[in-house]
Amino acid sequence: MVKRTGLSDPGKELFTAYDKTTSKWDNFRFIDLFAGIGGIRLGFEAAGGHCVFSSEFDEDACKTYEANFGEHPSGDITKICAAEIPDFDILLGGFPCQAFSIMGKKEGFANETCGTLFFDIERILKEKKPPAFMLENVKNLAAHDKGNTFRVIKSHLEALGYHVYTKVLNALDFGVPQKRERIFIVGFLDDVRFSFPEPVPEEERQTLADVLETDVDKKYYVREVIRASRLKRIKDKNYPRPYISHENMSGLITPHPYSSALRAGASANYILINDERRPTEREMLRLQGFPETYKIVLPYGKVKRQCGNSVAVPVIKAIAKEMLTSLRDFERSKQYAGQK
């Protein structure tokens, strides 16, 4: 036990017996729901976590997940009994967003195939009561149905006893050249003080040049007629390279020194590098912040879909770090209170 004298109140002694090397949060357990290809898992493993259960419905995603993590996720979460899931400390879930996406039909809870999957998260939280959770979804979730959908989700989480924090974060602010805004929902059973991470300094962020490959196979290059059409419609014909252009709903081509959000169901050419070629599989993974060691085991179209459905790993890492800091601080405060 270390004895300290409080500077603001001379004579008052503060006692701290907290030792970070013995914190329960140095080796926590988490479950990876709607696991996709494991982007959320990577972020929480980096914070010291150990995955004890994963679930993913899409078999192609399971193949990629197994190739990289050595385990084949359990299947349809709606068919998994919550009581049979191993005990864990943090629930993680990037639950399907198509029902809430501004690019989709925006059916929300009316979409029986994925909009209601939030309630499977709810039943698992109710059964297992883990100390914390983190959920991820599209930015539009907060605005869907004039905010009613989000209010339902938040109220259900609070009714389970969780203190809930929410914020929209942009992957651009956390080191990858991709404009990807997503809403994150973090909750704690205890009254844990939590703040979402701050953006990383500009000088620590990757540029587009950092993620692009230099020797790219000709199969990624578009036909000349497509290239000519793009260049004819580009908003700024003198935009400096490298850039990634995005074709919007009206057909306008807009270049940026970063990628627009990778999308699972978008057309093959919705984003092009220098209006010449599609991003390679490795480049798409880099835009999401996946490590160079991540294995690519499926064809281009499936990798494109999986990257579009995944998360920006650096954002998850930053959130995980803040969550673990908050949980350790709360643990320390309880120990301090017990000494008084």
Active site residues: 97
Burial class (CB in 10 A: 0-12, 13-18, 19+), 325: middle
In angstroms, the CA 205 to CA 198 distance is 13
Sign of torsion, CA 183 188 191 193?
negative
- Name the CA radius of gyration of the chain, rounded: 22
